[in-house]
Amino acid sequence: MTIKPPLQEKKFIELDANFSTTRRVTMERPAIINDPCAKVQSHLFLPPNPERRGEGGLRTKGYFKHSYPETSELSEKFAVPLVTIITVVFNGEKHLEQAIQSVISQSYNNVEYIIIDGGSRDSTIDIIRKYDDQIDYWLSEPDEGIYDAMNKGWKLSQGDYIYYLGSDDILLNIPSQSIQKASLNNTDIIHGNVIMDNGQLRISRYNPLIVFKNTLCPQGLFIKKKLLAQLPFNTKYKVYADFDLNQKIYKMSASSIKDKSTIAFFRLGGASSSYQDNSKLANCKQEYARVIYDNFGLSGLILSWIWGAVRGLVVKNNIHLHTDYKTLKRILKDCK
């Protein structure tokens, strides 16, 4: 059992009680202490970039975030963990504002919100600037793809738990009780369900079937920041780095809490759900298989093919290994 140090009282400022991101701020600059063995390192600000198109937010004005103690009805102090929400966006003017509003309207009192824009050329930056006083930190600069941007967001986060919200998705609920319980028990992940825009409820499961498919909903997953320090997104994958991360989490026997609530509204059409034409579908299938092969070897890949064959899974709008033997042979050749 981990014995937590006594909770320290901190002076907090309430900038605006109407927003989750402005109820608890401090002008006390956090100390950045990195583990030299970690694969990624934390920063309050990234180094200057001549291609940067803008940056801003509360952090640039001297306001920061911490976890803090609160007193219950029984007068016992408990931690209110800082939850960092990261949105990665590129030319996302259509739905971004709705995503932002869903974050800042949450009832949870200790939220840090970071937006990483890949150098958008539409009105995305104008939308972000509109919420400069509610976003903790944002920047706009070219990146090497969605997972590079997600790793960048992690580097800038100060939260105990990290959550990634798509720029076209809606956050419905921050599971406060599960997060507080997870913090108390040093739990690695909290996972909940997701409702998709076709009305289907996707149930998140953390079990051995993750060898075959992504049973953890990325849009319903809160991950301990210290865990992500050792497991950054692998940028060699263009679509399924989140599947790779979830498999690695399972392989290391990470502890978990299942929250029964619906965490987010997920719009189909993101990077991993919009590959419809045959050429993209083939590439997607091979990357999906590559993730399984890299994490569980040839036996895992063959078992996943057998599992898919037995279930007859050829599902529209989802990428599964087809029961075509030629497809399996091509994937095995690619994985050598």
Confidence tier at 275 by pLDDT (50, 70, 90): very low
Higher pLDDT, 227 or 308: 227
Under the phi-then-psi rule, with left for phi > 0, alpha for psi from -120 to 50, and beta for the rest, what region is 109? alpha
What pLDDT, in 10s, does the model give residues 82-139?
Answer: 999 999 999 999 999 999 999 999 999 999 999 999 999 999 999 999 999 999 999 9
State which amino acid sits at residue 157. Answer: S
Residue 5's pLDDT is 45
State which amino acid sits at residue 9. Answer: E
Burial class (CB in 10 A: 0-12, 13-18, 19+), 178: buried
Least confident of 179-183, 222-226, 316-320: 316-320
Complete domains list, the chain, with CATH: 25-276 (3.90.550.10), 288-332 (no CATH)
Residue 315's pLDDT is 43
**Which of 102, 129, 106, 103 lies closest to 117, judged by CA?**
129
E-assigned strand segments in the chain = 54-56, 68-71, 77-80, 83-89, 111-117, 137-140, 161-164, 170-171, 189-196, 201-202, 221-224, 256-266
Alpha-carbon span 133 to 181, nearest angstrom: 30
Higher pLDDT, 2 or 193: 193
The model carries a pTM of 0.88
Least confident of 4-8, 119-123, 302-306, 328-332: 4-8
Q: Vertex 101, ends 134 and 21: CA angle to 5°?
A: 30
Q: SS3 for 171?
A: strand
Residue 271's pLDDT is 47
Residue 336's pLDDT is 59
Give me Rg for the CA atoms of the chain.
Answer: 20
The residues that bridge with 223 in the sheet, in sequence order, are 162, 189
Q: How many helices (H) and strands (E) does the chain have?
A: 8, 12
**Which of 87, 163, 81 lies closest to 124, judged by CA?**
87
Q: What is the average pLDDT value for the chain, to the nearest integer?
A: 86
Residue 20's pLDDT is 98
Confidence tier at 77 by pLDDT (50, 70, 90): low
Q: SS3 for 325?
A: helix
pLDDT of 310 higher than 90: no
Residue 9's pLDDT is 52
**What are the φ/ψ torsions at residue 201 (nearest 5 degrees)?**
-90, 120
- Residue 182 tokens read as 């997870």
For range 47-76, the mean pLDDT: 83
Confidence tier at 323 by pLDDT (50, 70, 90): very low
